[in-house]
Amino acid sequence: MNKKLIALSVAGLLSTSVFADNYAGVSYKMVEIEAGSSSVEPSALEGKYGSFLTNNFALEGRLGFGIADDEGVDIDSLLGVFGAFHFMPKEKFSPYALIGYSRGEISAGSFSDSETDISFGFGADIAVNGDGAFNVEYVQYLDKDGVTISALSAGYVWNF
């Protein structure tokens, strides 16, 4: 009985209908892939959906894909789950820090590879009205086996 009650309580707490502060966003990413002394800079489009679990902490999922290659290297997919700590969530300028786990897949010609790693970053939302904000962000998605994938992005976030 206790296990069922705990499971039901956790499910209720994690239900997005319990939280009024949900958001979704889209961003253009200038990705940099570094391997040794060489680097390429394909671009990607990423969507995110998040929900505030407390006044400052949100949990979000992200999905991205390449929209332009560089020297034949393309982003096939970016997938991640992040915790975001917003330092001033109700202010016009709201900086935040991110930590999470990502999976990235890149391709170059017939070669394709995917990796997973701990990800981290920082950014800020700049409110433009009651329901939306411009967003700027830096994220390091992967740093594994001599390859680093990071991105600088600009986008828009809708709050609902």
* Residue whose token pair is 């239900």: 15
Q: Tens digit of pLDDT for each residue in 55-108?
A: 999 999 999 999 999 999 999 999 999 999 999 988 999 999 999 999 999 999
Q: 120 in a domain, yes or no?
A: yes
pLDDT > 90: percent of the chain: 81
Q: 3 in a domain, yes or no?
A: no
Q: Is the per-residue pLDDT at 133 higher than 50?
A: yes
Q: 8 in a domain, yes or no?
A: no
- The DSSP secondary structure of 11-32, one letter per residue, reads HHHH-GGG-S-EEEEEEEEEEE
Confidence band of 11 (pLDDT split at 50, 70, 90): low
How many domains, in total, are found in the chain? 1
How far the first Cα of the chain sits from its last, in Å, is 36
Q: 4 in a domain, yes or no?
A: no
**What domain range includes position 141?**
19-159
Lowest mean pLDDT among 12-26, 44-58, 71-85, 114-128: 12-26
* Residue whose token pair is 């990607």: 44
pTM value is: 0.84
Distance CA 17, CA 102 (A): 26
Domain containing residue 25: CATH number: 2.40.160.20
